[in-house]
Structure 1
Amino acid sequence: MRWNEAEIDARLAAMAEQVASGYGDVSPALVGIQSGGAWVARALNGKLARPAPLGSLNASFYRDDFDTRGLKRAVQPSDLPFDVDGAHILLVDDVLMTGRTIRAAMNELFDYGRPASIRLAVLFDIGHRQLPIRPDICGETLALPPHQRVELRGPAPLVAEVIEIPVKADE
């Protein structure tokens, strides 16, 4: 399964409508989780009638598996060029799977201040939850077996495809 630029664009347009209807007169700040979530946040922001404040988080140090995963090679620092205290935050990621990355990102957000609210927007929800986290805004919900993932490529154009994850011999 693959999604081309036009298909991703259609999902982003639908998500932008959900942002507009879900926030009313309140203007949320978009915070993308690096790297795919930051790409999605930037593209989503371009679809909004009024562009929102835009930031990005690198939640790597906040993950509960940091000691086994380590850092990605191209790690970028978090960038929140607005005051988090009292802000309505729309946390954006490309794929929601277990919920652990979202938990880590929320932990980091609270190091910057106390937001008025945090909502979650994801391009794809593949539903392999390990934590009680759900998206408020979702481009597409998929039911994938555990050995498959959605991989987003970007930053522009955004395209995605389902990939196979090799199963370890001892599993």
Structure 2
Amino acid sequence: MGSRTVLEESEISRALTRISHEIIEANKGVEGLVLVGIPTRGTSLAQRIAGQISRIEGTDVPVGSLDVTMYRDDLAKHPTRSPRPTEMPVGGIDNATVVLVDDVLFSGRTVRAALDALNDHGRPRAVRLAALIDRGHRELPIRADYIGKNLPSSKHERISVRLVEHDGVDEVTISQDEAPAEAAR
């Protein structure tokens, strides 16, 4: 089973730079902006976007991490991983514009779980979604506001996002999935 690279390091960097500019433009600056990553790679991407925004605007943007494991509606189908810590920025999220950040948007179930989890931490003014990859196949009416790359794929393919922070390399690959379609990201 071979895989092919669909995004390399430089393309991921350009996509995150574009997403950063789009977030700033849509928010009309950085006031009231909070980035919240969905572990594991979404948190790293949120930190990278915050770094880009800081370089562009000269102001730090608060970053948090939101574990959604126990909020998922498909726990019976998938073995759960150990929950990661949820860390909200010191100022919280009340009345903020929260941008949820994830690596791959697929069925929409992770984002739905994130919206439920977010409610336990405050009441944002607005919630937006940024995804490095949107692969389609939505099962819920959820769409990303900021997308690095639309990557239409078969349900029998696996999209793998590898980041330096976790995998030692920045790349996105696509391969045939050996597991049933329900298990594919």
Normalised TM-score (structure 2): 0.84
Question: Which residues of structure 2 form unaligned runs of 5+?
Answer: 181-185
Map Cα deviations across residues 111-170 of structure 1 (whole Å, 9 max, x no partner): 0111111000000000110000000011111110111132111243432211221154xx
- Over aligned residue pairs, what C-alpha RMSD do you find? 1.5
Matched, 1:20 2:24: yes
Question: Which residues of structure 1 form unaligned runs of 5+?
Answer: none
- 8 A contact 2:27–2:33 mirrored in 1: yes
Q: Which residue does the alignment assign to 2:94?
A: 85
Q: Which residue does the alignment assign to 1:72?
A: 81
Normalised TM-score (structure 1): 0.91
| Alignment map for 1:90-105 (pairs within 5 Å) | 90-105=99-114
Counterpart of 2:76 in 1: which secondary structure?
Answer: helix
- 8 A contact 1:32–1:38 mirrored in 2: yes
Report percent identity of matched pairs: 35
- 8 A contact 1:29–1:90 mirrored in 2: yes
Moved over 6 A (4+): none
Matched, 1:39 2:44: yes
Q: Which residue does the alignment assign to 2:183?
A: none
Instruction: Tell me how far apart the structure 1 counterparts of residues 66 and 117 of structure 2 sit (CA, whole Å).
Output: 8
Instruction: Tell me how far apart the structure 2 counterparts of residues 95 and 131 of structure 1 sit (CA, whole Å).
Output: 15
Q: Which moved more, 1:47-56 or 1:89-98?
A: 47-56
Instruction: Tell me how far apart the structure 2 counterparts of residues 27 and 125 of structure 1 sit (CA, whole Å).
Output: 26
